[in-house]
Amino acid sequence: MPQTRAALSSRTEAGSEPDTAEGVQSVKSIRKAFAVLEAFRDRPRSLSLSELALATGLDKSAVQRFTRSLRELGYLQQDPATRRYALGCRVLDLSFNFLQAHPLVERASPVLVDLRRAVRERVDLSLFDGDSLVYALRMQAKRESFAAALVGRRMPLFCSAGGRAVLARLDPIQARHMIERLPRPAYTPTTLTDPDAIMAKVAEARQRGHALQSGEWRPSEIVMAAALVGADGVPQGAVHIAGSARDWTPERFEAEMAPQLVAAIADIRLV
């Protein structure tokens, strides 16, 4: 929401940083520091100063200043032998505090424990964030891949069960606009990338109250998901049940999992 002049004035009087050349430079510095941290997204585990400069577009001397500060704060660590940088443990402190304080994560956690026990398959909670979903809880029931156990991973809206469940709770025009403007790479040979085909799946999810997807996001994985919607009608995230496509047909997976998923969504709303 745009801020009024009075609101901005009161913030300045209360001690907030005024919109001066010095203040603008300070904000730019914060952006650059975060650019250094975000350079590690989808890249190797460690980066050199030259690689960080290339990834951020900053000159090497600036990168050196930011990495030194971030290392001193614990958000970066440096290998003494190779001099390469990696994310530090302080990043996990922020993740812990975020998850601990998030009301939806708190409400959903006990319900998802019971759901995993009932279905004996992996159960996930994702949060709706802009143009993607982010895994906030992942509860494994079987031995799975390393990536399937980690929170914080983002997944696309257009080809994931959770994404389509969330899109189904948006206005159809808004949902289609999001699909059309976002990249739609084919993650697997069966990934749907055509907007019309994707919108047909979204319409199915709207009618059924849940979405079902097999092999489009991760090969050999079948997932059912339903959206968690706030009192204002806006989707906040989704609950997922994931199994192996080698063990389930889509028809049997839907028949057995849908009642459990619907009950879990209702319980989370009541908690």
pLDDT in tens, 72-97: 999 999 999 999 999 999 999 999 99
Return d(Cα 162, Cα 1) in angstroms, integer: 28
Residues 55/32, Cβ–Cβ less than 8 Å: no
Q: Are residues 139 and 231 in the same domain?
A: yes
Instruction: Give ∠ CA 57-60-61 in degrees, rounded to 5.
Output: 125
What CATH number has the domain bearing residue 266? 3.30.450.40
Q: What's the pLDDT score for residue 8?
A: 34
Under a CB-based contact definition with an 8 Å cutoff, are residues 159 and 219 in contact?
no
Residue 80 belongs to domain with CATH number: 1.10.10.10
Tokens 């899109």 appear where? 167
Checking if the pLDDT of 188 tops 60, the result is yes
pLDDT of residue 22: 56
Q: Is the overall model pTM greater than 0.95, yes or no?
A: no
Domain count, the chain: 2
CA distance 21 to 74: 29
- End of a domain among 57, 90, 123? 90
Do 115 and 62 have their domain in common? Answer: no
Domain annotation covers residue 95: no
Amino acid at 178: M
Cα–Cα distance between 265 and 16 in angstroms, integer?
41
Task: Tell which residue, 177, 181, 201, 176, has the closest CA to residue 191.
Answer: 201
Note whether 225 and 152 are same-domain residues: yes
Count of Cβ atoms closer than 10 Å to residue 16 Cβ: 11
Supply the range of the domain harboring residue 16: 5-90
For residues 140 and 68, membership in a common domain is answered with no
Domain stops at, among 60, 90, 120: 90
Say if 193 falls within a structural domain. Answer: yes
Residue where a domain stops, chosen among 90, 110, 140? 90
| Claim to verify: residue 113 and residue 220 sit in the same structural domain | yes
Whether 238 and 143 share a structural domain: yes
Residue 166: count of CB within 10 angstroms of its CB = 30
Share the mean pLDDT of the chain.
Answer: 88
- The 10s digit of each residue's pLDDT in 28-63 is 889 999 999 999 987 778 999 999 999 999 999 999
Confidence of residue 150 (pLDDT cuts 50, 70, 90): confident
Would residue 143 count as lying in a domain?
yes
pLDDT attached to residue 135: 96
